[in-house]
A = this chain, B = another copy of it.
Amino acid sequence: MRVAVDAMGGDHGPEVLVEGAVAAAREKGIAITLVGREDVLAGYVEHYDGGGLPIDIYPASQVVDMEESPAESLRHKKDSTIRVAFELVNKGIAHAVVSAGNSGATLATAIVALDRINSVRPAIATIMPTLKDPVVMIDVGANVDCRPHHLLQFGIMGSIFAKRIIDNPRPRVGLLSIGEEYSKGNLQVKRAYDLLAASELNFLGNVEGRDIFKGDVDVIVCDGFVGNICLKLSEGLAESVLTMLKTEIKRSLMAKIGYRLAWSAFHRFKKKVDYSEYGGAPLLGVNGVAIICHGRSGPRAVKNAVSVAHELARADLAGQIAEALKQDAVRLSSAAT
């Protein structure tokens, strides 16, 4: 199982990507193909002492900029690192792709290159920290306009993914809404509720915004518009909370001394809420493994993303999803009409 890494994307350039990939190869023995400019990547591999590791480099001459239109990049950049990485999967050279580059382009390229499983709507799943175990939130940005049966698809795919990361063969699924009762929610969510309740899933009902971090469900289903806003709000709020707290702490000497003493606690806490620990968000519903990393990913996030990609390819996540969708196929097709 070999992981192709788009080694030119992301906010920090190729160095952090190579550093993370080298760490994954060294610590986990994962075979990696770095895709990008050979001279640049070879230099960093040497710098991080990756010479004897199972790492090779595959050339690609173009890079999709972070702000570029996904459609434009698909049309005009035939030799982009993102595209070449997915072609390696199609050729059987690699078995999973990790990219911290333009996430819209990664999404679009993954769907075109790997194709969708049973015409499903591919969705991005992310892992969020909670007071208990982490929770899978799906979709966080691939589908801004959804129909109710798409939410059922997300529940099915999210459950399969959750089984890989938590110790529960029947992950508890919740539907994001504005009240626990069935009657609360918009039209889309009320209809999705019925579909989820009738499915094979371990569906517990609605969860509210305040419940996301309680950890009482393993999978939270929502459309990509709501999910993306929630994800970014959470990142922004966690950062803002720490900034506000530090501003208050700086206002008194006693508090500053206190903060120093409590520093290790702050550090552990930051680690707990740090997205980089979870290493990127898989795109579920395509015939293969694609991990979309945060543009700001550092070496640690890249290493973890490579490790997740490898594990999902090894477990044949796409095959498992195809199987699960088949089981709910009748329900899905009648809901779609």
Contacts and interface: CB of A to CB of B under 8 A. Distances in A.
A257 B254 CA distance: 11
Interface string A117-140: 000000000000111000000000
Given A178-B144, A210-B235, A213-B237, A131 B187 contact: no
Interface string A218-235: 000000111011111111
Contact of A264 (B130, B228, B241, B255): B255
A145 B210 CA distance: 21
A269 to B, nearest CB: 5
A156 interface: no
B236 A213 contact: yes
A259 interface: yes
B254 A264 contact: yes
Contacts of A261: 254-255, 257-258, 261
Tell me the dominant secondary structure on chain A's binding face.
helix
Interface stretch (A27-35, A244-252, A316-324): A244-252
Contacts of A210: 232-233, 235-236, 239
Contact of A131 (B145, B214, B240): B240
A34 B176 CA distance: 37
Contacts of A240: 130-131, 213-214
A214 B237 contact: no
Interface residues of A, number: 61
B236 A262 contact: no
Contacts of A236: 208-214
A333 interface: no
Nearest to A261: B258
Contacts of A176: 229
A237 B256 CA distance: 25
A225 B230 CA distance: 12
A251 to B, nearest CB: 7
Nearest to A262: B258
A141 to B, nearest CB: 6
A248 B230 contact: no
17 contacts: A144-B178, A176-B229, A178-B229, A208-B236, A209-B228, A210-B232, A210-B233, A210-B236, A211-B236, A212-B237, A226-B229, A234-B237, A241-B241, A245-B265, A248-B264, A255-B264, A258-B265
A272 interface: yes
A273 interface: yes
B269 A265 contact: no
A229 B251 contact: no
A233 B233 CA distance: 8
Contact of A209 (B129, B214, B231, B245): B231
A264 B252 contact: yes
Given A212-B236, A213-B237, A144 B265 contact: no
Nearest to A268: B248
A182 to B, nearest CB: 12
A37 to B, nearest CB: 28
